[in-house]
Amino acid sequence: MITSFVPILAVDILGSIAMVIIALLSFYKARRLREMDPDNAVFHYLLWISMGLTIFSVSRSFGHILRQFLILTSNAEAWHAISSYTGSVNTVSFMLVGSITLFFNQSWKINEKILTGRKKLENTHIELMDLNQTLEHKVIERTERLTSSEHKCRRIFEQSLDTIIVTDSEFKIMEINPAGIILTGYTRDEMIMGKMTAGNFFADFSEWEKIHNKIASKEYILNEEAEFLRPDNDSLFVLITGGIDYGAFGCAKTYHFIIKNVNEKRQMERQIAQADKLAALGELSAGVAHEINNPLGIILGYTQLLLKLEPEHKDDLKIIEKHVQNCKTVVSDLLSFSRKGSSELSIIDINKVVDGVVKFLSNHSDFRNIEMSLNPYTEDRLNILGNEQELGQVIINLVINACHAVEGKGNIDITTQRTDQDKILIMVKDNGKGIDKKNLTRIFDPFFTTKPVGQGTGLGLSVGYGIIKRHQGDIRVKSSEGMGTLFTISLPADRTMD
Amino acid sequence: MLKKNPHNIRRFLNFIPAMTIAGLILLPIEVSATQLHASSEGIITHQAGHFFFLFSMVALIFTITGKDLNKQKGWRLIQYSAFFFILWNLDAIFAHFLDNQIYAVKIENISLGKMRIITNNDSSLLAWFYYILKLDHLLCVPAILFLYKGLSFLVDDQKKMMAKKGS
């Protein structure tokens, strides 16, 4: 049969070219797929198939085009010589494609495993994210609660009016609140950087030792009373409660103390007790003085009558008179102390009274080696309603006591002041030996004296106390051994001139 | 005598192939010479290749269906591609059978535009059948085109999936 060769030729040539182009495009697409998901085994598989088909297409198309060319150019012999080679390449290439294709199932299984693994990984990742988010929320929530709790604790610590102290296991100060800084009088740096211990605050170290021992045995102390000594030598009474904190999360053992300032309360209690005691003594003294005063008057009257009538017994009678006079002075002092006596009151300027006392005493031989300084309040007149003579007596008494305290050599400062509460203060301060702590509560007691027998009656301060109380005033003492004494008289200012 | 040491035994076993190769090269006898192959082996191998390719394409079609991948347009087009490759392989197998195996058909180029198809029994039906078989590119070009389209759709699907994940 003779027929046209053109359709076969055209289909062969064009088809071969199309095969190469489309196979290359397929290969490109398969590469794109693999690039999009390099972990997908199926896409790898498609890439391999495309590559195999491309090799097959190129090899086959090349063979076909070459064959047509050689036959048309009457080189059929040459084609016969190479046809077996191109045929072999074709065979290998489509066998290769066939082999790759048969791996599809395996590729698919591998891919499924990968996908399953990836899915599991994603689920695990999501679970982990959830857990992480929950954890983060919890951490934030706990942190907020912790911050809030810490803030509350800090506020309590900072705002507390009682002193809060945290010490280490050796009682060195680690933390102290602002109230503690005010109470102790030390700066934070002095306490923390200076490694002060809790024992440093105590006026009497034996008190601290007692507390220390109690903590060691019972692990806590409750409302233990102690006296603190501030750096300015002021002392104050405190109540201490404390205990051990063994620490959590690896923190070291610490001690916590809450210290309450009860100084004013204790002083008030002592003053009330003192006032009650002195009032009772005053009543007693008044009774005794009243009963003794009349017989003393009679004895003195008859003694003086006998002096006129019996001059031969003059010496003996003079001795009786002298001792009766002494007794009358004591009785008079007792009456002054008991506030039973009456005196004429007028408006007097305290500065003038004090000035007079200083002028009077500075000429006395006992004050030769004493430096007396007067610091009067000059902004206003210090008028009070009182008895000039009695008040002068009180001040003289205090200054003489100060003179004895400095033992003839030292400083005595007398200061007057007016307070915002309309009180006039007279302060007598010396730098003498001070008063023993145990005597402080007894110095206003009648007949109490530390002077040798015969040198003092022990009525000076008692009388002064009585006079000041009669003037609606108050007298206080502050003293520490070796540091001197300060007597402060407080009297109500007269407001009639305002 | 060899000691019963596993290392020595292994070394001895490894030595056997080397000794065999050396013997074959150094002592050539007729039995161990390379076997001669008939020229028909080439076409049979080629036909076997076509059968193998055809079989792999059938397997691919069934695997895609078995895994329900034919619901995706891309894989469905790849199935079509496999189908056309099957047809093309059948076409090639028949053509090679006629002209290279049983020599039932022969082509002679008469001129640039004409050719003569010579069949054994002058069967024009066989000649026309062979003529159609020679237009095999009408099968393999659509096959590769379907593959390209299938891959293009898979690329598009993948892009959409990535965009969805990204959003």
A64 within 8 A of A12, measured Cβ to Cβ:
yes
Closest CA to A61 of B43, B141, B107: B141
Write down the pLDDT at residue B27.
56
Burial of A30 (0-12, 13-18, 19+ CB in 10 A): buried
* Token reading at A484: 């001197």
Contacts of B70-77 with CB under 8 Å at 24 or more apart are B72/B153, B72/B154, B72/B157, B73/B150, B73/B153, B74/B150, B74/B151, B74/B152, B74/B153, B74/B154, B74/B156, B74/B157, B75/B150, B75/B154, B76/B150, B77/B146, B77/B147, B77/B149, B77/B150, B77/B153
Write down the pLDDT at residue B39.
66
Higher local confidence (pLDDT), A111 or B155: B155
From chain A, the residues in CB contact with B155 under 8 A are 29, 32-33, 36
Q: Which CATH number fits domain A264-341: 1.10.3470, 1.20.1410, 1.10.10, 1.10.287?
A: 1.10.287
pLDDT tops 50 at residue A87? yes
Residue B38's pLDDT band (cuts 50, 70, 90): low
Tell whether pTM > 0.80: no
pLDDT tens per residue across span A286-307 = 777 778 888 888 898 988 888 8
From chain B, the residues in CB contact with A25 under 8 A are 148
Q: Which residue of B has its CA nearest to A26?
A: B148
Q: Which residue of A has its CA nearest to B105?
A: A1
Per residue, the 3-state secondary structure of A328-362, as one string, reads HHHHHHHHHHCCCCCCCCEEEEHHHHHHHHHHHHH
CA dist list (Å): B140 to A91, A209, B133:
15, 109, 12
| H or E element that contains A388 | helix A388-405
Higher local confidence (pLDDT), B139 or A327: B139
pLDDT tops 90 at residue A144? yes
pLDDT tens per residue across span A220-259 = 999 999 999 888 878 889 999 999 988 777 788 899 999 9
Strand arrangement of the beta sheet that strand A410-418 belongs to: A370-375, A410-418, A423-430, A484-492, A474-480
- Angle (CA) A283-A427-A269 rounded to 5° is 45
Region B96-107: mean pLDDT is 84
B114–A87 CB contact, under 8 Å: no
Architecture of domain A160-261: 2-Layer Sandwich (3.30)
Q: Is residue B92 part of a domain?
A: yes
B137–A6 CB contact, under 8 Å: no
- CB-nearest to A19 from B57, B67, B141 is B141
Q: Does B73 touch chain A (CB under 8 A)?
A: no
From chain B, the residues in CB contact with A99 under 8 A are 52, 56
Q: Alpha-carbon distance A19 to B148, whole Å?
A: 11
- Range of the structural domain that residue B117 is part of: 39-166
pLDDT tops 50 at residue A189? yes
Q: What 3-state DSSP class applies to A204? A: coil
Write down the pLDDT at residue A331.
80
- CB-nearest to A95 from B52, B117, B135 is B52
Largest CA distance in chain A: 203
Please tell me the total number of residues recorded for chain B in this structure. 167
B46–A87 CB contact, under 8 Å: yes
Residue A489's pLDDT band (cuts 50, 70, 90): very high
Region B28-50: mean pLDDT is 69
Task: Return the amino acid letter for A176.
Answer: I
Write down the pLDDT at residue A341.
53
Residues 6+ apart with CB under 8 A from A346: A385, A386, A387, A388
From chain A, the residues in CB contact with B162 under 8 A are 36
Q: Residue A458: left (phi > 0), alpha (psi -120 to 50), or beta?
A: left
- CB-nearest to B116 from A2, A8, A37 is A2
Beta-strand ranges (E) seen in A230-311 are 235-245, 254-261
* Token reading at A93: 């290439």
Q: Is residue B159 part of a domain?
A: yes
Mutate to test the interface with A, among B58, B155, B160 (most CBs of A within 10 A): B155
Burial of A277 (0-12, 13-18, 19+ CB in 10 A): middle
From chain B, the residues in CB contact with A19 under 8 A are 137, 140-141, 144
Closest CA to B158 of B81, B73, B82, B77: B73
pLDDT tops 90 at residue A81? no
CA dist list (Å): B77 to A37, A95, A135:
21, 22, 50
Lowest mean pLDDT among A11-20, A407-416, B108-117, B157-166: B108-117
pLDDT tens per residue across span B145-164 = 999 999 999 999 999 988 88
Q: Which residue of A has its CA nearest to B47?
A: A91
pLDDT tops 80 at residue A342? no
Region B104-127: mean pLDDT is 82
Q: Alpha-carbon distance A325 to A331, whole Å?
A: 10
Higher local confidence (pLDDT), A107 or B158: B158
pLDDT tops 70 at residue B99? yes
From chain A, the residues in CB contact with B135 under 8 A are 7-8, 11
pLDDT tops 80 at residue A61? yes
Beta-strand ranges (E) seen in A376-434 are 383-386, 410-418, 423-430
Residue A24's pLDDT band (cuts 50, 70, 90): very high
Q: What 3-state DSSP class applies to A490? A: strand
Q: Is residue B4 part of a domain?
A: no
A1–B45 CB contact, under 8 Å: no
Write down the pLDDT at residue B7.
58
Q: Does B106 touch chain A (CB under 8 A)?
A: no
From chain B, the residues in CB contact with A104 under 8 A are 59-60, 63
Total domains in chain B come to 1
| H or E element that contains A99 | helix A76-102
Q: Which CATH number fits domain A343-492: 3.40.50.1100, 3.30.565.10, 3.10.20.30, 3.40.50.1370?
A: 3.30.565.10
Q: Can you list the alpha helix ranges (DSSP code H) found in A2-75?
A: 6-36, 41-72
φ, ψ of residue A319 to 5 degrees: the values are: -65, -45
Mean pLDDT, all residues of chain A: 86
Q: Alpha-carbon distance A107 to A113, whole Å?
A: 10
Residue B2's pLDDT band (cuts 50, 70, 90): very low
Q: Is residue B3 part of a domain?
A: no
Q: Does B154 touch chain A (CB under 8 A)?
A: yes
Residue B91's pLDDT band (cuts 50, 70, 90): very high
Region A468-494: mean pLDDT is 87
pLDDT tens per residue across span A401-413 = 888 888 878 899 9
Region A112-124: mean pLDDT is 88
* Token reading at B155: 């690329």
Residue B36's pLDDT band (cuts 50, 70, 90): low
Write down the pLDDT at residue B112.
73
Residue A135's pLDDT band (cuts 50, 70, 90): very high
Closest CA to B144 of A283, A153, A19: A19
Q: Alpha-carbon distance A429 to A435, whole Å?
A: 12
Burial of A91 (0-12, 13-18, 19+ CB in 10 A): buried
Lowest mean pLDDT among A191-200, A415-424, B97-106: B97-106
In chain A, DSSP finds a helix count (H) and a strand count (E) of 12, 13
Lowest mean pLDDT among A156-160, A177-181, B70-74, B111-115: B111-115
Write down the pLDDT at residue A497.
56
Q: How far is the alpha carbon of A138 from chain B, nearest alpha carbon, in Å?
A: 29
Please tell me the total number of residues recorded for chain A in this structure. 498
From chain A, the residues in CB contact with B156 under 8 A are none
ipTM: 0.77
* Token reading at A114: 């990968």
Write down the pLDDT at residue B1.
39
Q: Is residue B18 part of a domain?
A: no
Closest CA to A426 of A451, A461, A465, A395: A395
* Percent of chain A residues past pLDDT 90, beyond the cut: 28
Write down the pLDDT at residue A20.
93
Closest CA to A215 of A242, A192, A197, A188: A242
Q: Is residue B17 part of a domain?
A: no
B114–A105 CB contact, under 8 Å: no
Write down the pLDDT at residue A256.
92
Q: Does B159 touch chain A (CB under 8 A)?
A: yes
